[in-house]
Structure formats: C-alpha cells, structure tokens
Amino acid sequence: MSNPLLDFTDLPLFDQVQPEHITPAIDSLLAEANTALEKVTQPDFPSDWNAIAKVLDVSTERLGRAWGVVGHLNGVADTPELRAAYNEALPKVTEFWTRLGSDERLYAKYKAIRPESLNVEQRQAHKNAVRNFVLGGAELSGAAKERFAAIQERQAELSQKFSENALDATDAYAYYATPDELAGVPDDVVQGARAAAEAEGKAGYKLTLKMPVYLPVMQFAHSGALRERMYRAYVTRASDQGDAKFDNSANIAEILALRQEEAKLLGYQNFGEVSVVPKMADSPKQVIDFLRDLAGRAKPYAQQDIADMRAFAADKLNLSNPQAWDWPYIGEKLKEARYSFSEQEVKQYFTAPKVLAGLFKIVETLFEVTLRRDVAPVWNPGVEFYRIERERRDGDRLSTELVGQFYLDPAARTGKRGGAWMDDVRARWLRPDDGKLQTPVAHLVCNFAEGVEGKPALLTHDDVITLFHECGHGLHHMLTQVNERDVSGISGVEWDAVELPSQFMENFCWEWDVLKHMTAHVDTGAALPRELFDKMLAAKNFQSGLGTLRQIEFALFDMLLHTDHDPSQDIMPLLNQVRDEVAVIKPPPFSRTAHTFSHIFAGGYAAGYYSYKWAEVLSADAYAAFEETAGKNGLPSIETGRKYREAILEAGGSRPAMESFKAFRGREPTLDALLRHQGMA
C-alpha cells in the first residue's frame, strides 16, 4: 500500500502520486489482470456473466482506474518526468486492452452467455461487448491478428505524441508586448500578462497562445500587426510552418494510414464505416448528407454575416481588405456597435464563485439534488471537490444518500492541455466482488483565466456556457441509476448522442431567471442589469450562420478524411476542398489548424466530430420540451426536469439513445428547434 496508485479504498491519492510510482503500479495491475484473464478463459470456467465479472471485471476496473489517474495527471499536470513514465507504461497498457478485446477464448465465453439469463442492463452491456469483440479483432487470426494489435499500439503512441506536440508548441510560444501594442485589450488580460512577465523577471507583457490570453487579444487589440503576429503563431502550431520539433505532419499521415489498414483488416472499406458501427448514424453517407443539408441551410445566413462585417470594416474601421486575423476584431466591434455592449462589459458580472453558485442552483432545482463542498486529495491547490446528494424517503424516515462526486479544475496553466473536458474517475457499479454500490466520480476540467490582484476570476459568457456544457456531461455520468458498470452513466452511450446532455445544459445560460442568480459585478457586487441581458439575447445568434459553418467544416473534413482520402497524400488539398464547399471565409495558405485538431487525432472523435452537430439536434429538441412547459414565472418545470432526468440521465447507456429520447419526447427528434434556437428558422 505504499504505492498510492494501488490504493483503491476510496478516492485517488492525487497529491501523493509521483512519476516513480507509475511503472511498478501498472506492472502489478497488469499482472493481476492477466491472471484474471487466464482464469476466466479456462475451459472449465462457466460462461456466466456474474462469474466473469467477479474475477475479470474487478481486476480490469482496478487497472482502468489507476491508469485513469495517470492519464489525467498527464493532461492537467504534465512534467518531463511524468510524461516519460506515462510513455513507458503506455505500450504495455495498450497491448493488454487490445489483447483482451480480441481474445477469442473470452469472446467464445461471452457468445455462450444466454441473454435470457441476464437483466435488462446486463443484456445491453452483453450486446455491446459482443459487438466490441468483433471491432476489437476477436474474429481475426494469425498474422492479421498480430498486425491488428501492432496497429493499436502504434496508434496509441502517435496520438500521445500528437497531443504532446500540440501542448508543447502552445506552451513554447511567448511574445513580450509593449503597452502601445496592447491598446484596446481588456485590463484584466493586460494585468495578467504583466504579472506573467514580472514572474519571469522580464520587461513588457507576456502574451501566450492559451485561450484566456489569445482570444481577447484577437477580439480587442487595436494593433493589426499584433493580431497578425498572434494569429500566425496560433494557426501554425505543431506544423511544418512552425518549429520542426513539434511538427505533427508525419504523425497525422501515419495515424490515417493505420486507421485505413485497421478498417480493411476488419472487412470495412474505410475507417468512417468502422466509426459509425457503435453510433446512432447508420453510415458515413448519412452523416455527410446530414452535414451538407445543414450547411445549405446555414450558408445564406453566414454570407450575410460576412457581408455585414465587410461593410462595417470598410465604413467604420478603415479596413477595406480584411485579413484572417481581422475578423474576430471586426466581429467584436460590429457587435458592440449593433447591440451597444461588449464582451468585456459582460465579463465584469461573471465572477467565477457567483457563476458556480448559479450553476449549482439550477442543477439542484431541476434535478432535485443537493451539491456541496467535499474534501479529497487534489493535484493542484486551485482544484475544488464537490458531492451530489439526494434525499430519500423510506416511510416516515428521511435519509440523505450520496449520488456522486466531482473534481472541478477551472484555471489555465502551463503543463495543462487546452480546451475543456469531462472524464470519469470511476463509474456507478453494483460491485460483483463485495455486493456494495460504488458511486460515480467525475472530472470537470476547463481553461479559464485566473483572478488578478486579489479579485475573483472573471468568466466570459462563452466560458459560462463551457462550464454548463461540461457540467451536463458530468450529470450524465453522476446521476445515472444504472448498476451495470459498462452501461452506467456515459458508458455505452452512442458517441453521437453523448453530447446531448452537455449541449442541453448550455440553453440555461440564455434564461434570465437562471442567469440573474449567477452574476455579481466584480467591483460593486451588482447583478447583471436586465437591459444588458436583453442586448446579449438580441446578439445571441449574431453570426450563428458563421459558427454553424465552422463546425460543419471541421465535421465534414473529419468524415471525408476517414472515408475518401488517400492517407499517402497531403491533407491540405482535402481541407481546402471542404472550405471551398462550405466556408465563406478562407484562411491564408499558411494556416494549419488540422495539426492541432486533437479531437480527431488524439481524443476519440475520429470520424465522429459530426457528433456535436448531430447531438445538437437532439439537445435543442429536448430543451424545447422545457420551453413548452415553462411556468408563468419563466422558470423551468420541475416535472419536465424529473422526466428528462429519468429518461435520459438516469438511463445512461442501458438502452439505445433513440429509445431514451423517445421516452422523454414521445417521438423522434426534428431539426426545427435547432434552426429556431440559432435564428435560422
């Protein structure tokens, strides 16, 4: 027990894990898991779901939890020592999971299990398991099986390298600006940049490519030269246009070639076909048609967006020929002129503590739970830990039960990868070894700016939306009432439906009765004025056509890359072809945004990025149920919240997502609500 990674008594000991713990812990857990695998695949071991779970699932869950801790630290607290230990263990872990997923002896045991001997949850988990064995290469043999395993191992290495290059290229950049160059940039960003330079003993103001710095510079800096400098650095990260040691070009080419080879080994034409097998979508063609249909509807709105910006830039900003680095600035200035407010003005009202209190209030009200602070070992002093509880009535007795717990890691910092995400620490599971109910635990990770000069952190309204989004994922994982681990919470949910609960929660960021409780001006404590909110609401769909096309561009590129593209060819011609088809603004030739497209090259969204748009149809339609049942006071209906919780969140992956949606809405989803919400009806 001296190794903190081997302590499974309760929550992970994040504060004690050191790089030197990783190899011995993972080696020990791999040995244990291998022993369990050998035991359950012996001829005399029963083909029984519970018997296999008691031996194999208990062992592999321990391995998964420990490796999850290591992977999480690699994402939020990267150091050279931790990275080296992670990369040393990665091939061994990948090899084990690949071998487990393709073990024909284990596959035979699962195929021999009689579905009628299982409960409803187990039946769905069993069905998924049999499908995953096929996708995992269990029906391959000989050289094909060996090659399949080698492909998985190499892909894991390449994805990790892709991720490292994206992080390192981002962290490596710094520009020390002068006060004149920063004219127009918000005060809190300027103060943070000055403090960052002072911490290094340098003159000037340190600008980085982290989103809380990069985005406000692009939106507000009057200096076109500074915007161009930052833009070039940002869009050439980890590419052939930047520092050669971070170039992801070769990684991309090899990842795509390996995915194509994997698909052929499994008997599919391309990786897009493999990707949709466990998803809601029936085929890559259905996805491509869906994206092109949506692009056709959005394009006229996006063309109008651009026409408006061009006219405004020429008339008011003396920019007759706007460049790629000018559009965020023009957009912000046009928004200020048209709606008489700026993002900077709004941001003063969204202090992190107040936003969090408001988020908790809506969760508690809508889903009939209580959230409060809790205590756990953490990896950084800025990390907070919370518990979700529910009151249970048993006759006259009222008791409080723990539903789930989560870590919140809000701030951007060096060594933490960009973006925002939710991940699971452990799943809800009625454990087969001791019969006890294990409650779910999640990570909610963001990259917001930190507070400066003793003031709380300020969030943009987009940051608030991001927080609600990740919380939606977390609630999906934590509010589940499913006891079978592989289909509880987010487990077993089709990838193109997994964004439904997250995008659903974003809608509340536009409801006055919700928003007014989560604002307090950083200096005066005053709530957001209704007049300012009305301006925000009027601007809600400002450039929604452009935003929609941007997401479709990513999604269509991703799917075509994994269906029609020859992996031996450069990806840029395909990206340009997609832009010619759907985009209304073309980036400059040096732009290499695909080289940091971690979602598809290092994040599980390969041939699946369309999921965001696909699930947006589901989430908009689901939210329409709340609009239809809202009370006279504008507050959402508790009954509708309960129905949504029970049909979608509590069901987890225990049945197909379409069944859960129909259980809530009483019908299949339609596109109407999405187009209406985005002002494109």
Task: Give the DSSP H or E segment for 422.
Answer: strand 421-426
**How many other C-beta atoms are found inside a 10 Å radius of the C-beta of residue 327?**
20
Q: Supply 238's token pair.
A: 């980890």
Among the listed residues 543, 549, 611, 541, the one whose alpha carbon sits nearest the alpha carbon of residue 295: 549
How far is Cα 681 from Cα 676, in angstroms, rounded to an integer? 5
Give the torsion sign (CA, 586, 592, 598, 600): positive
Beta bridge partners of 407: 385, 443
Residue in this structure with the two tokens 């077993």, named with its chain if needed: 492
Beta bridge partners of 406: 386, 442
**How many other C-beta atoms are found inside a 10 Å radius of the C-beta of residue 517?**
19
Task: Give the DSSP H or E segment for 206.
Answer: strand 205-207
How far is Cα 256 from Cα 558, in angstroms, rounded to an integer? 11
Q: DSSP secondary structure string, 348-373?
A: TT-BHHHHHHHHHHHHHHHHT-EEEE
Task: Give the DSSP H or E segment for 284.
Answer: helix 284-316
Taking the CA atoms of the chain, what radius of gyration do you get in angstroms?
Answer: 25
Residue in this structure with the two tokens 């026409």, named with its chain if needed: 307
Secondary structure of residue 386 in the 3-state scheme: strand
Among the listed residues 618, 673, 371, 391, the one whose alpha carbon sits nearest the alpha carbon of residue 494: 618
Catalytically annotated residue among 332, 470, 484, 499: 470
Longest dimension (CA), the chain: 82
DSSP H helical segments within 340-483, as ranges? Answer: 343-347, 352-367, 461-478
How far is Cα 642 from Cα 479, in angstroms, rounded to an integer? 12
φ/ψ of 398, rounded to 5, equals -110, 125
Catalytic site residue 470? yes
* Distances 241 to 167, 169, 537, 590 between C-alpha atoms, Å: 16, 12, 40, 7
In the chain, the amino acid numbered 167 is L
How far is Cα 66 from Cα 255, in angstroms, rounded to an integer? 27
Secondary structure of residue 444 in the 3-state scheme: strand
584-614: b (≥16 Cβ within 10 Å) or e: beebeeebbbbbbbbbbbbbebbbbbbbbbb
* Distances 104 to 40, 143, 256, 264, 542 between C-alpha atoms, Å: 12, 15, 27, 20, 55
How far is Cα 78 from Cα 75, in angstroms, rounded to an integer? 6
φ/ψ of 400, rounded to 5, equals -105, 130
Q: Catalytic amino acids?
A: 470
